[in-house]
Structure 1
Amino acid sequence: MTGDMGADLRDWIGKTEVVEDILTPGLVARFNATLDRDSATAIGAPAPELIHWCLCTDTIATNALAQDGHPPRGAFLPPVGLPRRMWAGGEINLLAPLGIGDIVTRTSEIENIVEKAGRSGPLTFVTLRHKITSDGRLAVNERQDIVYRGHVANAQGAQTPPPAPMGTHSTQIEINEARLFRYSSITFNAHRIHYDAPYTKGVEGYGGLVIHGPLQATLLALFARELSQRPFSRFTYRGIFPAIGTGSLTLHASSEGNEMKLWTAFGNGPVSMEASAGWE
């Protein structure tokens, strides 16, 4: 198993990284403004769910970024030889709320690396484990799945799955260039597929700007919180089909006992991301 730098990728399993940040009222205000929502921003108040993706972000110098806008491989993440990198899914256990004003520390570990053969070519899956403390207490235990794949002429696939079903509850949020830019900004994400349409179409093979997977997951998590009116303890999510372009993104939800099934669909398209929120 080798990457483009000739390294044995399995040697990267167990590698760790520790990053520290401060959850400021300003970040919460920018998070709320990006998503058109309201919540407390005072010191000591609980922060919104999944705002931790806006903390402890990569701070690689701009002139060191790769062509696609990602940090170069071989720093913390392994030097996988496949060019395209995407969030595939993950599971988040919320043990305590992050407190506004708290020092937040994220300890990350590479748990596993697996190479597979997909229908469109080779795939490499990297599993990360993030443990996040807020003011010294463990608040989030997260598994994050990243997938690497090769370039393809049509990144959306040759066939479009059937339209997404309707949920018991649904709501729409307008996705435009400004919202995509703002979410990239608060997560310090320079991946060009979210803001550079010529690159996205000409190099990565998408039909337009790509709606962030983490943005969709965050919207679903906050939708679950709004519907239930109580904090959930577990949230899982998985990317199914890319959501491309600007327009209406529909959030769907249906409850099943102590679990809520959630999914997104762009326009009249197929399920883009599926998720579940659980109360234990």
Structure 2
Amino acid sequence: MASLDDIDLDHLRGWVGREEEASDTVTDGLIARFRATLGDWLFDTGADAPLGLHWCLAPSAVPFDALGPDGHAARGGFLPPIPFESRMWAGGALAFHAPLRAGDRVNRRSRIASVTGKQGRSGPLVFVAVEHTISVGDRTAIAERQDLVYRPAQPLGDPQPHTPRTGPPGTFTGDPVTLFRYSALTFNGHRIHYDHPYVTQTEGYADLVVHGPLQATLLMNAIAKRAGTGAVALDYRGLSPLVAGVPVALREAEDRVHLETDEGRETFEARPKSL
């Protein structure tokens, strides 16, 4: 079994402090496509852009020949070259200080904040925290931290029985079309979200995997609906994988919201906090 001794954490920490910038323009078309994809799950922001749309702006435009076998950009560059095969978006934090609007020229400044290792029950994990400041002119619109986790490829077990279905009204069910549309909106090439043979035969999931950011978007909009404003802040994290064809219900408590399958398995949670 792989261990943290197999990687040079001191070398990888040399990426801490690295920065990059990217910019993009919010368009009416992007807002319309985002709303068409997520519909009633979005908080009504009126003429402002919906919450979560910022993840569609200025995605990394990596040439095809610079992609790794999983569809992600090959290791190195801005992110440290962690040699573990699997990379997932584990969680993060968001603070929405000001809305984005159609026509805004948005700048995103990103910085590697930390690289840490942990020996988990299933093997070694390396966490990379990336801080983003999203601004329009001299106005900070969104402050964000993304927590990425890397781990070695896991041995494939026997395929889990899986019959895709749609849940009752009020539940969310990831389906191939919605996952494709969200991947297209965010220019996300990770094959676990659209390539069924790859995700089942190479990565060992029962079906296409529902994006972590998509689930976080459902939760941040639920928090905004409850608060009656898009000026919210939250911490969020993934709890267990969610695949296409598994309905989840939104559960709300005073200090957290989460998504839960009908078997009681929680897949994603968010906790509101003060701006």
- TM-score calculated relative to the size of structure 1: 0.86
Aligned residue number for residue 12 of structure 1: 15
- 1:8 is paired with a residue whose SS is helix
SS at match of 1:46: coil
The alignment partner of 1:106 has SS state of strand
Partner amino acid, structure 1, of 2:17 = G
Tell me the secondary structure at the aligned position of residue 209 of structure 1.
Answer: coil
- Structure 2 counterpart of 1:83, which letter? E
Name the residue aligned to 1:251: 250
Q: Which of residues 247, 253, 259 in structure 2 aligns to 1:264?
A: 259
Which amino acid in 2 is paired with 1:101?
A: G
Report sequence identity in percent: 41
Of the three residues 60, 84, 87, the one matched with 1:85 is 87
Aligned to 1:30: 33
Q: Give RMSD over aligned pairs.
A: 2.6
CA distance in 2, matches of 1:155, 1:103: 47
Structure 1 pair 117–2 and aligned structure 2 pair: CA distance change class (3 A): closer
Shift of 1:113: 0.3
Deviations 1:10-37 (A, max 9, x none): 1111000000000111111010011124
Which stretches in structure 1 are left out of the alignment for 5+ residues?
Answer: 159-169
Correspondence 1:176-215 to 2 at 5 A? 176-215=175-214
Select 1:274's aligned residue among 260, 263, 269: 269
Q: Which has the higher strand share?
A: 1
Q: Going by fraction, where is helix more abundant, 1 or 2? A: 2
- What's the CA shift for 1:185? 0.6
When residues 78 and 71 of structure 1 are mapped into structure 2, their CA distance, relative to the original with a 3 A threshold, is: same
Q: Distance in 1 between matches of 2:217 and 2:157?
A: 23
- Tell me, yes or no, if structure 1 residue 128 matches structure 2 residue 123: no
Q: Which runs of 5+ in 2 are unaligned?
A: 161-168
8 Å contact from structure 1 (residues 155, 204) kept in 2: no
Contact 2:45/2:230 (<8 A) preserved: no
SS of the equivalent of 2:253 reads strand
Distance 1:155 1:213, change over 3 A: farther
Q: TM-score, with normalisation over the residues of structure 2?
A: 0.87
1:154-165 aligned at under 5 Å gives the runs 154=156
Q: Which amino acid aligns with 1:207?
A: A
In structure 2, C-alpha distance between the alignment counterparts of 1:237 and 1:154, rounded to whole Å: 28
User: For this pair of structures, how many residues does the alignment match?
Assistant: 262
In structure 2, what is the equivalent of residue 94 of structure 1?
96
